[in-house]
Amino acid sequence: MSFNLSVIPNKNIILAVTGGIAAYKSAIVVRRLKDAGFDVRVVMTAGAQAFITPLTFQALSGNPVHTELLNPEAEAGMGHIELARWADLLLVAPASCDTLAKFAAGLADDLLSTLYLASKCPVWVAPAMNQQMWAAKATQRNLNTLVDDGVHVIMPDAGSQACGDVGLGRMPEPEDLAQQVTQYFHQAQRATAEKFGLLAHQHVVITAGPTREAIDPVRYISNHSTGKMGFSLAAACYAAGAEVTLIAGPVSLDTPNGVRRINVSSAQEMLKVSMQMLDSGCDIFIATAAVADYRVAEVAEHKIKKAGDELNVALIKNPDIVATIAQQLKRPFMVGFAAETQNVEAYAAGKLVAKKLDMIACNDVSRADIGFASDENAMTVFFAESYDMPKRDLDKASKQQIAEQLVQAISEARNQQPIPSRKA
Ligand code: C5P
């Protein structure tokens, strides 16, 4: 399961392809931008069409390809002004010498040069050409003009060229270009979330996954928790602008984008790191971890040998992490989880009070279709009495969607009874 925010919703890219052998690489750029969730429209100059056909780009982008400026049919579809308004970014790759010169001079004699002048969005150019043409004074002069005009220039790579020369002028690899575009939108998205997100200026600490309680050097007691709910919450909190620390038990999940992850194994380690996080400043503590209730009283120094028909291992109670944090003086907003197989709501409401939580999300793990190993969940959320917020049912949905609804609920409760933010 992937938690990186690689999918950028509702962003439009115009990929303009100009005449150069690197045009073949642009087909892959379209693929990668589509993979990242962008809507892509391709504009081609006449020169580009000598290297690769519009049909290729139409098939890959799923949109008509724009090639003409003064074609009544094309203008009736999406004309150059509309196209310019549609775009969130204009990426010219490859950008030929001729195109750079036109942009620098402000010419408007074809669709792309006109589009450039009509665009308000950021313009990126990825020049690709013979190394001698790249080094030519006129090209460098035009590039300087474009940089002064606010155009972002993606520097060409050095290496062997299609013409046999070796030097600067190769278009960067398509994956690299798509990655740079995606990163730009991620950073913009994050900057907005950090200012205006539901959890802006909050440090959220989340425990996730199971704990492992050693029996001897090779054996342990654990449970089936996969950590998916906690990791989904970490991604959702980050998307809502929070700084997120994820204290993870042993799970095989990728760390969500932008999230700080600290791996732990036992409940005692999880408590120790949680307390450290509290000391360093924590505004919201979310306990999704399935912490082992008991640990082995005395962990054997060496592997226990097979002997009689029975083996008795004495267990002692583990600390309750969420309850311990809730008792501290510098108490964050506390969110607990309850996984039950019967009397789900009654048990959850009891834990809310007993553990002194602000909010608890409970689910029925006896249902085979949701919970532990599933990618989906359904929950009921209870708030402490002081919040005057009725219980809230979250219908079956992906753990990511449930996480977003939980973030919403946390933010509403926080707004009702604001606890001063660490950074406000
Ligand atoms: O008591 P129970 O394990 O059902 O409570 C569940 C909630 O308490 C979860 O939020 C879980 O992460 C937290 N918990 C904890 N430390 C424990 C046991 C549970 O933080 N030792």
Mutate which of 321, 353, 365 for ligand 1 pocket (most atoms within 8 A of beta carbon):
321
Domain-embedded: residue 284:
yes
Question: Does residue 191 belong to any structural domain of this protein?
Answer: no
CB atoms within 10 A of CB 204: 28
Cα 175 from Cα 129, distance rounded (Å)? 19
Co-location of 158 and 54 in the same domain? yes
Predicted confidence (pLDDT) per residue in 141-170, tens digit? 999 999 999 999 999 999 888 888 888 999
Q: Check whether 358 has a pLDDT greater than 50.
A: yes
**Range in 1-15, 16-30, 171-185, 202-216 with the lowest mean pLDDT:** 1-15
Residues 222 and 119 in one domain: no
Distance 337 CA to ligand 1 centre (A): 7
Q: Name the one residue in this structure whose structure tokens are 């090779």.
A: 218
Verify that 270 and 383 share a domain, yes or no.
yes
Instruction: Please indicate, yes or no, whether residues 232 and 141 belong to a single structural domain of this protein.
Output: no
Query: Structure tokens of 217?
Result: 């050097």
Higher local confidence (pLDDT), 340 or 77? 340
- So which residues are the catalytic ones? 163
Model pTM above 0.75: yes
Q: What is the pLDDT of residues 376-418, one digit of tens each?
A: 889 999 999 999 899 999 999 998 999 999 999 999 999 886 4
> Residue 313: inside a domain, yes or no?
yes
Structure tokens given for 230:
């906690």
Residue 2 lies in a domain: no
Both 262 and 127 in one domain: the answer is: no
287 lines ligand 1 (CB under 6 A): yes
Of residues 236, 237, 422, the one with CA closest to residue 331: 422
Among protein residues, the one with the nearest Cα to ligand 1's atom 4 is 338
CATH, residue 134: 3.40.50.1950
Residues 278-307 have pLDDT tens digits of: 999 999 999 999 999 999 999 999 999 998
Domain count, the chain: 2
Indicate whether 108 pLDDT > 90: yes
Residues 79-83, mean pLDDT to the nearest whole number: 90
- Determine which helix (DSSP H) or strand (DSSP E) holds 315, and give its type and residue range: strand 315-317
Q: Is the pLDDT of residue 349 over 50?
A: yes
Domain boundary residue among 122, 153, 184? 184
Say if 5 falls within a structural domain.
Answer: no
What domain range is 270 assigned to? 198-416
- What value, to the nearest 5°, has the Cα angle with vertex 338 and ends 332 and 344? 140
CA 291 to ligand 1 center in whole angstroms:
6
Residue-wise pLDDT for 367-380, tens only, equals: 777 656 677 889 99
243 in the same domain as 339: yes
Residues 235, 209 within the same domain: yes
Instruction: Mark whether 131 and 264 lie in a shared domain.
Output: no
Same domain? 173 vs 215: no
Per cent of the chain over pLDDT 90 is 83
Q: How far is CA 233 from the centre of its chain?
A: 12
Whether 283 and 390 share a structural domain: yes
**150 and 285 inside one domain:** no
- 159 CA to centre of own chain: 33
What are the tens digits of pLDDT across the range 242-264?
A: 999 999 999 999 999 999 999 99
State residue 90 phi and psi, 5-degree precision: -105, 115
Question: Going by C-beta distance under 8 Å and a sequence separation of 6 or more, which residues neighbour residue 164?
Answer: none
Return the pLDDT at 370.
65
- Mutation test residue for ligand 1: of 223, 315, 320, 365, the one with most atoms within 8 Å of CB: 320
Q: 249 and 111 in one domain? A: no
Q: Is position 189 within any domain?
A: no
Query: Is the residue at 364 inside a domain?
Result: yes
Closest Cα to atom 21 of ligand 1? 320
> 23-35 and 174-196 helices cross at what angle (nearest 10)?
40
What are the residues whose beta carbons fall under 8 Å from the beta carbon of 310, sequence distance 6 or more? Answer: none
Domain assignment of residue 421, yes or no? no
Percent over 70 (pLDDT), the chain: 94
Helix (H, G, I), strand (E, B) or coil at 334: strand
Residue 319: give its domain's CATH number.
3.40.50.10300
Residue 395 alpha carbon to ligand 1 centre in Å: 23
